[in-house]
Structures are given as C-alpha cells and as structure tokens.
C-alpha cells in the first residue's frame, strides 16, 4: 500500500510538473511544495473512497449470503412441518381405521371403504293421534289460515274427529366428502316424508300416502373460509323456522313464521360470530281474484299468474354463547298475464312484493330456559308467511263487474305477524314448550266485493299451543299437546259467517334412528 502510494504521488508530481500551470509558473520552492501537498491530499481522498466502496460491496455480499441462508432454512422448516402434519394425519387415520375402519368423518356417519366419503342415514318413525274438541277439522294439522268456518256451506257443523296416522315419518340421507382444508367439503342431502297428496279413499285398507320431497340440495365450501354455496331445494334464506328452538308434538308449521322450502342458489360467509347469507330463489306468483286463486303455468297451473324473475333473499345472523339475533329480507315480483288472443281482452300487470323480519333467541338458567321471538312484515310477503292464505301474495280486481282488461290492476296484500314462545327443560329428558302467535292482514278495498273467495279473506288470526315431551330413552319421544287457532274474515261470507276456531289435543310417539 505504501509503495503504491509513493508511486501514485510521484506520478502526480510528474504530471504536476509537466502540466500544472501552478508549477510551470511557480516563482519559488514554496509554491511547488504547496502544490505537492494538494496532490497528496487528493491521493488520500481517492484511496479512502476506494476503501469505502470495497467495504460496502463486501457488506452487501455478506447480507445477500445471510438472506439466502435464512430463506433456505425457512424452506427446510416448512417442509419439515408439512411432513410432520402428513405423518400426524396418517397416524390419526391409521388409528381410526384400526379402531373402526368404517367410522365416518362426521358424527353418526359411516365411511365408504377405499374412499374419503362418509354418509349418514337418519330419520324417525312417528305415529300421531288427535281429537278435535270443537267442530270438525279434517286435517292432521291445523292450518290456521283455512280453519273451517263456524257454520254454513264451508262451516263445521259436525263434531270433531279422532284420527291416527304416520305420514309425517321422515327419512334423510347425508353424504359428505372432504376436498381440502382450504376449500372445505362437498355435501349432498336428501330428506323425504310421506305427507304428499293422496286419494281421499287411500286409507280404506292401507294408508298409501305418497312420498313428498322436503329437501334435496348440494353444498360445498367453508362458511368460515371463502364461503359456502347451497344449490337445490332447501329452506329459503328468509325463513325463521330454521332458527326456532321450540318443539311441537303436531306437525303444524309454527304460525306467524316462514318455512318455505324451494329450489334456490344460496351463498353464506361468516366473519367471526356473524354470518351473511344471500339467495336467488324460485319465484311463484300467488294471486287471487273474485273468481279464485291462480298459480303460474310454469308449475302446471292453468291460471294467469306469471313467474318472470327469481325471488331474492338475504339474512344477517349473529350467534353468541347464549343468544342469537337475525335480520332477514325478501323481495319478489308478482305478475299476472292472461295472454288473451283478442287484444281488447288482454291484460298484464305486476307489483313488487317484499318482506322483512327480525328473529331472536336467548338461553337462560344454564340453557334450561330458551326464549324465542320473531316478527315478520311485508306487502306481498304472501306465501313466505304461513298464516297468509294460499294465493294471497296479491289480489286483482279483474273479474269484478265493470272492470275491463284495460282497467285491471294488481295490489299486494300486507301482512304483519309476531310470535313469542319459550321452552323449559325440567330434566334433560323432560321439556315443555309454549307459544302465542298473531297475524294481521290488510287488503285494497275492492276485495270486499269478492264472492267466490270471500271465505279465505282473513283479517286476523290467532294461534297458541302448549305441550309436554318426555324421552324415556334417548331415541324415543312421547308427547302430548293442546292447540288452539282462530281466524276472522274481512267481511262475512255468503252465509253471514265471520270466522272459525279450532281446538285440538294431539299426541305422538316418535322413534329415531
């Protein structure tokens, strides 16, 4: 380093003597010395810069080598963790297969050998018996909106019936296949009962009730991951019946609630304890006129109701440790179109229907007491609310005297309903349930001129029940229940009847599998 410094200095001196004007014109030796010192300082500066750059290069190279080493170590650790996880899963699977090679991936299920698919068959056989305390009501369920009127052509003039049946027995099949930890699982679910329509004489020698499809859907994804999709016949997103913890001995749909099952495509996503759900669902224009109720041709009907746009539904559900709360909404288009061949007789009209609802529940006393309440409101809520008569999503004045096709209009029926109930468990295998429900309906004024359908135009409805359910063993339920329902008409019917009531005692024996 010293030799190179002197060589550089000498070279600079030589250059200075040969080219520098300050040397060429120096008048004394001092001038030459000053020039030499300046050149030496310049050499030192260049050497310092060179050494600093070399140090920076060495530091950068060292940092790069260190980062590469850390990355390689991280990859090695990740690979080791993956191998350990796979080994743990293989060990757990081997232990499961050793203990029970047919044990499925979810409770109560069986695994199909050689696959990752598990299935579960469940359901129950149920026999029910009932006796009416008031006038006849020849249905094994009380439908509050169509309770027989107190007298007249549609009235109940004979005493109540006693009947025993088993058509509400149910069978379900649940099949699930895990796909991946991030994607979730694929699931298919089917459920049927035997409450389909049948010939009135089918019980003369045997109860040959037809099978009814309740649920048939596919589901995939993870609600707490990227989300889950349900496609098929399932409960509407708007339904509050799926949130109801109360049990009933009879199989009536709880009055004042929504329990629509229909074809739909639904998406759900959870954020912590809150789940958001939306759905595009089957549409069905339920419209009533003075001549009767019409149903869409698309469902085999011969009426003038038209289904042109899917229904939309949404729900926000929060669940805590001892409570839950849900906000629900539904919107749909209700349309009529007679497609008459003569232009002067054609009419087409539509109206927007919607419904909103709030539902909540609270568990108290170490979950022995469950409180439940729900409320629904909506112009055009119609078939989405069980206490609205069938076909009364909307009404039309077409068919009334003086109403031409050009003056035909369609108007929604507004319904407001509420329910409160409770469940109390005296013992783990002994519980009581009770509820009270009320529904009010509002119509356009021209419905007072309806004739044929006047007996179905309800103004208000009340319902209540109380029961006791005992389970002597985990798979067997014995129950007894008292039910009451009443309805009042907007105007008296042709026989001056203003409403009807029903009172019933209902029992059951239910055996699960």
The model's pLDDT over 387-403, given as tens digits with 9 standing for 90+, comes to 998 889 999 998 899 88
High-pLDDT (> 70) share of the chain, %: 83
Q: Which two tokens stand for residue 289?
A: 């006129």
Question: How many structural domains does the chain have?
Answer: 2
Q: pLDDT digit string (tens) for 138-194? A: 788 899 998 988 876 555 556 778 899 999 999 999 999 999 988 989 999 999 999
- Is residue 55's pLDDT more than 70? no
- Is residue 60's pLDDT more than 80? no
213 within domain boundaries: yes
Q: Which two tokens stand for residue 76?
A: 């090695």
39, 66, 86 - which closes a domain: 86
Q: What is the pLDDT of residue 91?
A: 65
225 touches 184 (CB < 8 A): yes
Q: What is the pLDDT of residue 238?
A: 98
Confidence of residue 76 (pLDDT cuts 50, 70, 90): confident
End-to-end Cα spacing for the chain = 95
Q: What is the pLDDT of residue 177?
A: 96
Same-domain status, 122 and 36 = no
Comparison of pLDDT for 25 and 85, the residue scoring more: 85
Confidence of residue 64 (pLDDT cuts 50, 70, 90): confident
291 touches 449 (CB < 8 A): no
Comparison of pLDDT for 69 and 57, the residue scoring more: 69
Report, as an integer, the average pLDDT of 204-208: 67
Q: How far apart are CA 48 and CA 490, in angstroms?
A: 104
Region label for 408, one of left (φ > 0), alpha (ψ between -120 and 50) or beta (otherwise):
beta
Q: Which two tokens stand for residue 312?
A: 């939309």
pTM of the model as a whole:
0.77
112 bridge partner residues: none
Comparison of pLDDT for 396 and 97, the residue scoring more: 396
191 within domain boundaries: yes
Same-domain status, 157 and 216 = yes
Same-domain status, 143 and 285 = yes
What is the DSSP code string of 146-174? Answer: GPPBSSSTTB--SBPPEEEE-TT-EEEEE
Same-domain status, 500 and 371 = yes
Indicate the average pLDDT of the chain: 86
Task: State the residue range of the domain holding 32.
Answer: 2-86
Confidence of residue 22 (pLDDT cuts 50, 70, 90): very low
Confidence of residue 200 (pLDDT cuts 50, 70, 90): low
431 touches 469 (CB < 8 A): yes
Q: How far apart are CA 212 and CA 170, in angstroms?
A: 10
Same-domain status, 195 and 77 = no
104 within domain boundaries: no
- What is the CATH classification number for the domain harbouring 493? 2.40.160.10
Same-domain status, 138 and 81 = no
Q: What is the pLDDT of residue 312?
A: 98
329 touches 347 (CB < 8 A): no
Residue 477: phi and psi, rounded to 5, are -120, 135
Q: SS3 for 409?
A: coil
Q: What is the pLDDT of residue 225?
A: 93
In whole angstroms, how far apart are CA 56 and each of 47, 51, 460? 14, 9, 88
Same-domain status, 166 and 310 = yes
- Is residue 411's pLDDT more than 50? yes
107 within domain boundaries: no
Q: Which two tokens stand for residue 454?
A: 């006047």
Q: What is the pLDDT of residue 93?
A: 61
Q: What is the pLDDT of residue 299?
A: 57
Same-domain status, 165 and 310 = yes
Q: What is the pLDDT of residue 20?
A: 42
**Which of 64-68, 218-222, 235-239, 242-246 is the least confident region?**
64-68
Confidence of residue 2 (pLDDT cuts 50, 70, 90): very low
Q: What is the pLDDT of residue 6?
A: 42
Same-domain status, 189 and 63 = no
94 within domain boundaries: no
113 within domain boundaries: no
Q: How far apart are CA 230 and CA 185, in angstroms?
A: 12
Confidence of residue 227 (pLDDT cuts 50, 70, 90): very high
- Is residue 258's pLDDT more than 50? yes
92 within domain boundaries: no
Q: What is the pLDDT of residue 25?
A: 41
**Which of 55-59, 158-162, 328-332 is the least confident region?**
55-59
Same-domain status, 249 and 355 = yes
244 within domain boundaries: yes
Q: pLDDT digit string (tens) for 266-312? A: 999 999 999 999 999 999 889 999 988 887 765 555 677 777 899 99
Same-domain status, 234 and 354 = yes
What number of CA atoms fall less than 13 Å from residue 422's CA on the CB side? Answer: 10
Q: What is the pLDDT of residue 39?
A: 72
The residues, any chain, with a CB within 8 Å of residue 184's CB and separated by 6 or more, are 178, 220, 221, 222, 225, 228
Q: How far apart are CA 353 and CA 287, in angstroms?
A: 12
Q: What is the pLDDT of residue 49?
A: 62
Q: What is the pLDDT of residue 156?
A: 53
Residue 304: phi and psi, rounded to 5, are -105, 10
Region label for 329, one of left (φ > 0), alpha (ψ between -120 and 50) or beta (otherwise):
beta
Q: How far apart are CA 471 and CA 162, in angstroms?
A: 25
Same-domain status, 323 and 436 = yes
Report, as an integer, the average pLDDT of 180-209: 81
86, 108, 134 - which closes a domain: 86
Beta strand 118-132 with 499-512: parallel, antiparallel or unpaired? Answer: antiparallel
Comparison of pLDDT for 290 and 96, the residue scoring more: 290
Q: What is the pLDDT of residue 12?
A: 41
């Amino acid at each position: 380093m010293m030799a190179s410094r002197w060589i550089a200095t000498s070279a600079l001196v030589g250059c200075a003597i040969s080219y520098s004007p300050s040397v060429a014109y120096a008048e004394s030796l001092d001038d030459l010395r000053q020039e030499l010192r300046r050149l030496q300082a310049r050499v030192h500066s260049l050497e310092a810069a060179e050494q600093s750059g070399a140090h920076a290069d060495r530091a950068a190279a060292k940092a790069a080598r260190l980062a590469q080493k850390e990355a390689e170590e991280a990859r090695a650790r990740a690979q080791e963790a993956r191998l350990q996880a796979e080994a743990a899963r293989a060990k757990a699977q081997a232990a499961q297969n050793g203990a029970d090679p047919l044990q499925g991936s979810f409770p109560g299920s069986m695994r199909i050998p050689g696959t990752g698919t598990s299935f579960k068959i469940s359901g129950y056989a149920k026999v029910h018996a009932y006796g009416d305390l008031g006038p006849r009501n020849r249905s094994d369920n009380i439908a509050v909106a169509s309770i027989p009127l107190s007298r007249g052509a549609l009235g109940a003039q004979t005493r109540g019936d006693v009947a025993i049946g088993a058509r509400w027995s149910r069978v379900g099949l649940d099949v699930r296949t895990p796909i991946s930890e991030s994607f979730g699982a694929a699931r298919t679910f089917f459920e049927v009962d035997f409450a389909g329509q049948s010939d009135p004489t089918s019980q003369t020698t045997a109860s040959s009730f037809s099978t009814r499809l309740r649920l048939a859907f596919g589901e995939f994804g993870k609600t707490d991951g990227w989300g889950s999709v349900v496609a098929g016949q399932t409960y509407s997103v708007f339904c509050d019946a799926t949130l109801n913890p109360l049990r009933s001995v009879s199989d009536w749909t709880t009055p004042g609630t929504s329990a629509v099952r229909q074809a739909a495509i639904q998406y759900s996503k959870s954020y912590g304890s809150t789940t958001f759900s939306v759905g595009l669902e089957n549409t069905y224009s339920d419209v009533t006129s003075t001549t009767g109720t019409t149903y869409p041709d698309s469902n085999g009907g011969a009426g003038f109701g038209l289904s042109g746009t899917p229904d939309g539904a949404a729900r926000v559900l929060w669940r805590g440790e001892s409570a839950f709360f849900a906000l629900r909404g539904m919107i749909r288009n209700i349309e009529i179109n007679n497609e008459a061949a003569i232009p002067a007789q054609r009419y087409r009209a539509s109206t927007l229907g919607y419904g909103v609802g709030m539902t909540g529940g609270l568990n108290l006393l170490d979950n022995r007491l469950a409180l439940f309440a729900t409320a629904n409101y909506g112009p055009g809520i119609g078939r989405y609310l069980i206490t609205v008569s069938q076909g009364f999503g909307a009404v039309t004045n077409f068919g009334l005297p003086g109403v031409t096709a050009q003056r035909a209009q369609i108007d929604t029926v507004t319904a407001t309903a509420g329910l409160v109930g409770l469940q109390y468990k005296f013992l783990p295998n002994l519980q009581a349930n009770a509820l009270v429900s009320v529904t009010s309906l509002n119509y356009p004024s021209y419905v007072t001129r309806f004739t044929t359908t006047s007996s179905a135009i309800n103004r208000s409805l009340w319902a209540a029940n109380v029961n006791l359910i005992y389970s002597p063993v985990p798979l067997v339920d014995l129950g007894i229940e008292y039910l009451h329902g009443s309805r009042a008409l907007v105007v008296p019917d042709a026989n001056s009847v203003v409403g009807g009531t029903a009172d019933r005692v209902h029992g059951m024996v239910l055996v699960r599998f």
